[in-house]
């Protein structure tokens, strides 16, 4: 499965990066926190991990990516979030890890799960603190698609790291560029399977659709050497975004490696984003 994942993603192996992710994930998982469960609006059991700050200035709802985990995707950044007085809810995406659901929908169903997590956070913490949605890879697509929903005023911003535009778009890219196969017939078959199992079409909604009507500020991050999600998708998202927007590009970074490649620049981009929109 690891070799298959590497082939699909096209990401170049970086042992130092992987070692740092694994160590950071263990540190985050070992910290005291509350594991919570909710039932989504479609009846799926969802699991999250809640880390309340002592004197919180904002709340982060973090969504991990495809075939990964909350601790793995956010472990390296967790200390930064804690240092800056962020209460954080790390969600486990449906169809993965401890959350229920038989299938992942690459953001189409998960965007509604974001609303359920916002409701839980609001009930637990009130609506006085600014809420930010954050995601990496498929998690970034999830929160960007959620931008097209009726989000409460307490949601002050979205941080999206290397998100793709739609299930169909990323599948086509992976099949054509990473597997070096023609998409046509394979795409039709994948679309049929997706629709039969999830009652959704792979092209029925996209981040582009969501961002064209979004009112929530967005910080887009991406590495120039991303072999899984092409950086052009973030440029598409940025151009489509009707809300206030920021763009942070990291030269040389592969998929999900932007924070690893430029920690100082990444943290500056995030803190500047908070500074501008905490009080909006």
Residue 205: per-residue pLDDT? 87
User: What is the C-alpha separation between 214 and 132, in angstroms, rounded?
Assistant: 14
Q: Read off the pLDDT of residues 165-194 as tens digits, 9 standing for 90 and up.
A: 998 888 777 776 666 566 666 666 767 776
Contacts of 18 (CB under 8 A, 6+ apart): none
Give the DSSP H or E segment for 121. helix 110-125
Confidence of residue 11 (pLDDT cuts 50, 70, 90): low
Residue 3: per-residue pLDDT? 46
Average the pLDDT over 112-125 and give the result.
97
Judged against a pLDDT cut of 80, whether residue 196 lies above it is answered with: no
Residue 247: per-residue pLDDT? 98
Which residue do the tokens 């535009």 mark?
Answer: 165
Establish how many alpha carbons lie within 13 A of residue 54's alpha carbon, considering only the half-sphere containing its beta carbon: 2
User: What is the C-alpha separation between 132 and 56, in angstroms, rounded?
Assistant: 13
Confidence of residue 91 (pLDDT cuts 50, 70, 90): very high
Contact 93, 139 (CB under 8 A): yes
To the nearest whole percent, how much of the chain has pLDDT over 90?
Answer: 74
SS3 at position 274: helix
**pTM exceeds cut of 0.85:** yes
**Domains in the chain and their CATH numbers?**
34-65+84-92+109-166+205-274 (3.40.50.1820)
Give the DSSP H or E segment for 221. strand 218-223
């Amino acid at each position: 499965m690891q070799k298959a994942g590497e082939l699909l993603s096209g990401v170049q192996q970086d042992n130092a990066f992987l070692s740092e992710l694994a160590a950071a994930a263990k540190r985050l998982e070992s910290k005291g926190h509350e594991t919570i469960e909710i039932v989504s609006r479609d009846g799926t059991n969802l699991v999250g991990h809640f880390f309340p700050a002592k004197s919180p200035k904002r709340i982060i709802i973090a969504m991990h990516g495809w075939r990964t985990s909350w601790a793995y995707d956010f472990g390296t950044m967790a200390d930064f979030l804690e240092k800056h007085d962020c209460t954080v809810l790390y969600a486990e995406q449906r169809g993965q890890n401890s959350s229920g659901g038989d299938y992942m929908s690459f953001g189409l169903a998960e965007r509604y799960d974001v609303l359920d997590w916002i409701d839980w956070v609001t009930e637990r913490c009130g609506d006085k603190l600014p809420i930010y949605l954050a995601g990496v890879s498929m998690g970034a697509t999830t929160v960007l698609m959620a931008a097209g929903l009726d989000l409460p005023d307490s949601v002050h911003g979205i941080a999206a790291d290397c998100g793709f535009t739609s299930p169909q778009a990323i599948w086509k890219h992976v099949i054509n560029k990473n597997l070096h196969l023609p998409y046509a017939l394979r795409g039709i078959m994948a679309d049929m399977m997706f629709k039969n199992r999830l009652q959704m079409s792979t092209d029925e909604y996209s981040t582009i659709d969501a961002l064209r009507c979004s009112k929530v500020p967005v910080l887009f991050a991406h590495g120039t050497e991303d072999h899984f999600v092409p950086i052009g998708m973030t440029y598409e998202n940025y151009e489509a975004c009707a809300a206030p927007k920021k763009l942070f590009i990291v030269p040389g970074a592969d998929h999900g490696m932007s924070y690893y490649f430029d920690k100082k620049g990444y943290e500056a981009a995030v803190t500047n984003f908070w500074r501008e929109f905490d009080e909006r």
